[in-house]
Amino acid sequence: MRALAIDRTGDADELHVARVPRPLRISDEVLVRVVAAGVNPIDVKTRAGKGVARAITAWPFVGGGDFSGVVEEVAYAQHPLPPGTAVFGMGRVPRVGGSFAEFISVASTALTPKPETLTHVEAAAVPIAAMTAWGMVVTQARVEPGMRVLVHAGAGGVGHFAVQFASHFGAHVIATGSARNADFLRELGADETVDYASQRFEDVAGSVDVVIDLIGNVKDDTGTRSLDVLASGGLLVNAPTGSWPTMHEDAAARGMRATGFNVAADALVLAGIGALIDAGAIRVHVDAVYDLDAGAEAQRIVEGGHVRGKVVIRVADEHDSNEREDDDDE
């Protein structure tokens, strides 16, 4: 099969389209014919030799966690996701081959039917970012009506879902971002926006119950400064692990609560998010779409750090995929 691969870690120029073996479906796994794959910061970090690159055991390596596509093979005849079903989900890279390829094999618990209102390109932008935001906002912070929630980098992949989830569950949402994204953030449900280039969020945000920290201390000590606005008994949830090595010590020294978060594939959570999307309560924003041959450029855009929503790689033509689904049903 065709895949976007690297033969060694390095910059985006290491990415190239190669012919690699089609993944072997085993046990409970579902083989999916990939139509589109989302690009996440972890993909860029791993390609560069950071992230989870230490777990790469063979070359060429195919990255990519997000996918949307069509079921090709299942474990047994009465599987709830029979061949031809449009699905989306999250792979476990680098334990298995990634979604920047024509096929991916994943556990049955890692995928669910694609939202009917989304194209495959749109659906591929959802799983990792949305499940991360859900885990931070809903599972960890348990956001509820009346809470004040500060979301850093609110216009990004995880951020634009975090703003929506916090708003959906009744919180007063304050989101940081660039001036050009202020209107976008308000459309997502932010009650207040903070232009990080001209304002210090600690000067304008007031006291908050929850901080959704998608930056850490990699820029301008954003993480440490966030403790200044956290109310007594509040919680800071940080997603980019490694972005603030002293987070627990810094929070404990002030008597604050803080936790990191790493997303896990969960078909039930993803199905719930899909239902909210189909109901019109949550939306996904795709900033740019690149073909597999232009995958290096897609990663450069994400690496630049100014993406609104998500960047997606189109692996196969959506129209051809729909025709194939019809063939499978015959």
For the chain, counts of helices (H) and of strands (E):
11, 16
- pLDDT per residue as tens digits for the range 234-280: 999 999 878 899 999 999 999 899 999 999 999 999 999 999 999 99
Give start-end residues of each CATH 3.90.180.10 domain in the chain: 2-126+284-329
Query: Could you confirm whether domain 128-260 is CATH 3.40.50.720?
Result: yes
Residues carrying CATH 3.40.50.720, the chain: 128-260
For domain 2-126+284-329, give the fold: Quinone Oxidoreductase; Chain A, domain 1 (3.90.180)
Which stretches does DSSP call E strand in the chain?
2-6, 16-19, 30-39, 61-62, 66-73, 86-90, 103-106, 111-113, 148-151, 172-177, 192-195, 208-213, 230-238, 257-260, 286-291, 310-314
Q: Among 168, 92, 94, which residue's Cα sits nearest to residue 137?
A: 168
Condensed to tens digits (0 to 9), the pLDDT of residues 69-123 reads 999 999 999 999 999 999 999 999 999 899 999 999 999 999 999 999 999 999 9
What is this structure's pTM? 0.94
